[in-house]
Copies of this chain bind each other. A is one copy, B any other.
């Protein structure tokens, strides 16, 4: 590679380590390393400390599987949340977005992934057993599938739907349709087709 780095060992070790971050290639890793060393060494130390602390302290919530420092996360412990609703999301980032909508008061289950046969991620790797166990606690009445509307997210939702319905649990899926504030002219045809199929009485 033309831009292969040859320099002091601790610098190339740092660049290699930065390349393990998702979305960071050789060029970005170099730029990050130079930036930290030249302009923000205290940022480098802060990041080193934060990485160590996070890996040491964080684990998965025993109930919803999200990251937490305690045995059970704050959301699961919140008595004001509705325990009859369980929203299944792929990642904590998705959970944050649903929280930001201020339109959901139930609990969550975070898959920390999605079915992806091509990458060798099957039901076992995602731990669907734990979700089924959680959903069949006798309190949950409705599971809302909020996986992404990608091929993999849809596959995951379909699979989970079958699994949970077979155990007599009510299963719903986030509505598909035209996004808020959008003009039909600029919405893609697939979305329009969905919105037509799922049209509702008004």
Contacts and interface: CB of A to CB of B under 8 A. Distances in A.
Contacts of A52: 44-45, 48
A41 interface: yes
Given A54-B10, A93-B31, A20 B46 contact: yes
Interface string A111-122: 011000000000
Contacts of A104: none
Contacts of A80: none
Interface residues of A, number: 63
Contacts of A7: 66-68, 92, 96
A35 B33 CA distance: 20
Interface of A: 2-11, 13-14, 16-18, 20-23, 27-28, 30-38, 40-41, 43-58, 66-70, 73, 91-93, 96-97, 99-100, 112-113
Contacts of A4: 96, 100
Contacts of A34: 67, 91-93
A112 B44 contact: no
Contacts of A45: 51-52, 55
Given A10-B57, A17-B43, A3 B51 contact: no
B13 A50 contact: yes
Nearest to A99: B6
A32 to B, nearest CB: 5
A55 B41 contact: yes
Contact of A47 (B41, B51, B68): B51
B96 A11 contact: no
Contacts of A54: 10-11, 13-14, 33, 36-37, 44
A23 B25 CA distance: 12
Nearest to A5: B96
